[in-house]
Amino acid sequence: MSIDQNTAAKVAKLARIKVEDDALPALASEFNNILGFIEQLNEVDVEGVEPMTSVTPQRLKRRVDEVTDGSQQDKVLANAPDAREGFFAVPKVVE
Amino acid sequence: MTDLNKLGLAEARDALRKGDITSVELTQACLIAIDGAEALNAYVHKTPEIALDRAKAADARLNAGDAPAMCGLPIGIKDLFCTKGVDSQAASNILKGFKPAYESTVTQNLSDAGAVMLGKLNMDEFAMGSSNESSAYGAAVNPWKREGDDTPLTPGGSSGGSAAAVAADLCLAATGTDTGGSIRQPAAFTGTVGIKPTYGRCSRWGVVSYASSLDQAGPMTKSVRDAAIMLEAMAGHDAKDSTSADLAVPNFEALLTGDIRGKKIGIPREYRVDGMPDSVERLWNEGAEMLKTAGAEIVDISLPHTKYALPAYYVIAPAEASSNLARYDGVRYGQRSALEAGDGITEMYEKSRAAGFGPEVQRRIMVGTYVLSAGFYDAYYNRARKVRTLIKKDFEDAFASGIDVILAPATPSAAFGLGEKASADPVEMYLMDIFTVTLNLAGLPGVALPVGTNSQGLPMGLQMIGKPWQEGDLLNAAYALEQSVGFVAKPQKWW
């Protein structure tokens, strides 16, 4: 599997990270190095092996479905780069 | 008493309880040492006011005879832990200025145990790295240097600031986190002790996530006894982390008898990798000999899928990271880039994330995005999870055959120079974690401790691996080795 510049650009877009066009060849080459390393996994016989979902055998705990937290609008907004009138502010999303 | 900052947790605890010293004196000694160690770049946010307030409160409790386990003991906190009202930015520019409104469970547990926070410690950005060089604050520097050579060395990573601070006596102990070796590798590079507990032993709540199925917090200390004391204070079930184990936390310190007679110590042949320096091989043999002399039985074992641990890790960890780090969107916290006229929300995400994340973090997010993308999910991610099952089974088979503890190298070399691997292929840096990463995939506890020095005078560590939830037995085996080794070397002060 070899990654070309178009694939690198697509991955950057999916990851929502801006990569300038002139940086794409280097990025694609790094991906290829890393994926080349990962390709070793193809040597392993995984026939009939279950993919791991939890490293320690445990059943996730259940809890009562009730409100335990809330009414902390100030704290929630305290670290926002742009908060106005009790909301997070972002560029216009809907035309 | 002079040089109080040089004490370990156990010694300081005993001196505090006897009334020989006060927590304020102890804390001030650390604060002075911290201010004199800017060259190490270990502390990135200092909290002297909080430290002295807590030290005074601790002294009051000590006087009242109401001292919990770590009462009055000054420690450093890795920048990955959220600490209420104190900068917590995971060494990333994207979280610059972030002051959490809450406290992580582990740091709350330590605070409840009376510990005194001195400040936040340097690390690789989002714990992604093995040299501390990916930090937005610049790299922390190892207090150790090669004999007759002034090259600044890495303290390892990602918990490099924690390791440097403990080794240079800028605290009595520190918290670390370990996703692929980030406690054990820096401990080995700095002549300190670090334990990654069983997955689920410490709550991950309030610890900035890297790869949630691998991340675990643990202590970094000056001795095995100190690690036992601090791990007990950090650990415990937490309703806010559904993967934290609802198991009683033993009194680990009480389990340190040093008696390992009859214990079976496994030596995994697959850890004897090509190109391993003689010094590592020699150290490993010496460690095994010492355990044998202490009455343990040394058994050769096989962990056949070891070779595939690193490639599996570099699928699973980036995949989880790409999901976890999606939250840094420039909306709820952290940095938002300046936008141009006409830029919409997608441009806001893309520009903020490009400016806020460093190159290694971007690389891992994008690799993770790729291996999870349509058409590759089975080929990469599911295959890696299947290999992970096999890696865990290797260990289960070894333990089922009667092995109590496994002895292995901690790192393939001693600390290397800052910048020495900077231009290299990222994979070369990934190989630093070759001996440590298997345990994270298998969820097992592992401890690194100093066992000797190499020909250049740098500390070298070995790693011991235990059964799930048997940190007590593991620490006891490490204690027995520590007693046999008698490692006392300290870095010469140059900073």
Active site residue B490: no
Residues of B in contact with A92 (CB under 8 A): 344
Residue-wise pLDDT for B365-416, tens only, equals 999 999 999 889 999 999 999 999 999 999 999 999 999 999 999 999 999 9
Residues of B in contact with A14 (CB under 8 A): 369, 373
Of B78, B222, B264, B421, the active-site residue reads B78
Residues A20-38: what's their mean pLDDT? 93
Above pLDDT 90, what percent of chain A? Answer: 81
Per-residue pLDDT band at A57 (split at 50, 70, 90): confident
Global confidence as pTM? 0.97
Phi, psi of B56 (to 5 degrees): -65, -45
CB B69 within 8 A of CB B114: yes
Beta-carbon separation of A34 and B468 below 8 A = no
ipTM of the complex: 0.95
Residues of B in contact with A50 (CB under 8 A): 386, 389
Nearest C-alpha in B relative to A7: B370
Beta-carbon separation of A81 and B330 below 8 A = yes
pLDDT at res. B276: 84
The segments of chain B whose pLDDT lies below 50 read none
Residue-wise pLDDT for B389-402, tens only, equals 999 999 999 999 99
CB B312 within 8 A of CB B388: yes
Of A8-17, A52-61, B419-428, the one with minimum mean pLDDT is B419-428
Residue-wise pLDDT for B35-73, tens only, equals 999 999 999 999 999 999 999 999 999 999 999 999 999
Residue-wise pLDDT for B309-342, tens only, equals 999 999 999 999 999 999 999 999 999 999 999 9
pLDDT at res. B1: 57
Of B104, B131, B158, B159, the active-site residue reads B158
pLDDT at res. B424: 65
Cβ-based neighbours of B149, under 8 Å, separated by 6 or more: B456
Query: Measuring CA to CA, which residue among B124, B127, B128 is closest to residue B136?
Result: B124
Rounded to whole angstroms, how far apart are CA atoms B153 and B459?
Answer: 12
Above 80 in pLDDT, residue A1?
A: no
Beta-carbon separation of A16 and B353 below 8 A = yes
Active site residue B222: no
- Can you spell out the DSSP letters for B147-207? TT----B---SSSHHHHHHHHTTSSSEEEEEESSSTTHHHHHHHT-EEEE--TTSS--TTB
Beta-carbon separation of A55 and B442 below 8 A = yes
Beta-carbon separation of B344 and A33 below 8 A = no
pLDDT at res. B428: 77
Of A14-18, A30-34, B275-279, B400-404, the one with minimum mean pLDDT is B275-279
> Which helix (DSSP H) or strand (DSSP E) does residue B75 occupy?
strand B74-78
| Among the partner residues A7, A37, A44, nearest to B305 by beta-carbon distance | A44
Q: Reading across the β-sheet that carries B116-121, which strands appear in turn?
A: B43-46, B116-121, B74-78, B173-178, B216-221, B193-196, B446-453, B459-465, B405-409, B264-268, B297-301
